[in-house]
Amino acid sequence: MALTLIICFIKAGRGGLDLFLAKVIGNVWATRKIPALNEKRLLLVQKMDTLSGSTTGDVMLAVCFKIDAGIGDTVLVCDEGSSANQHMGTPPTPIRTFIFAVVDQVYSEGRTTIYT
């Protein structure tokens, strides 16, 4: 049984929520980090075009917490600091970008794109 995730891409004005699809392209290893990042993985992600699946733009660092994402996965990324803190249940920390979900498929404009 597959879980269907309906995504509404939101790009709000300054200070608003930013959700986007990205491809995980690498890991970041840190032997010393702030306590808020303990037991959390750091991954490199790059934004994707929703329909073509091609990567575009700069590479970003994203925190991965309770999501089993790895290199090659398509993920839903949230780029907004207070949402990251709420999701991880932490007091305000310098975490801005985090992985919200691993995406299996997207239905948009009458077309389904499957990511494997």
User: How do residues 14-71 score in pLDDT, each as one tens digit?
Assistant: 455 588 899 999 999 988 888 878 888 999 999 998 777 889 888 999 998 888 899 9
Are the C-beta atoms of 34 and 16 separated by less than 8 Å? no
Q: Does domain 23-114 have CATH number 3.40.250.10?
A: no
pLDDT at 61: 92
What are the backbone angles phi and psi of residue 88, rounded to the nearest 5°? -90, -5
**How far is CA 73 from each of CA 11, 59, 97, 104, 115, rounded to the nearest angstrom?**
22, 15, 17, 9, 8
pTM for this entry: 0.78
Q: What are phi and psi of 35, to 5 degrees?
A: -55, -35
Domain ranges of the chain: 23-114
44 residue type, one letter: L
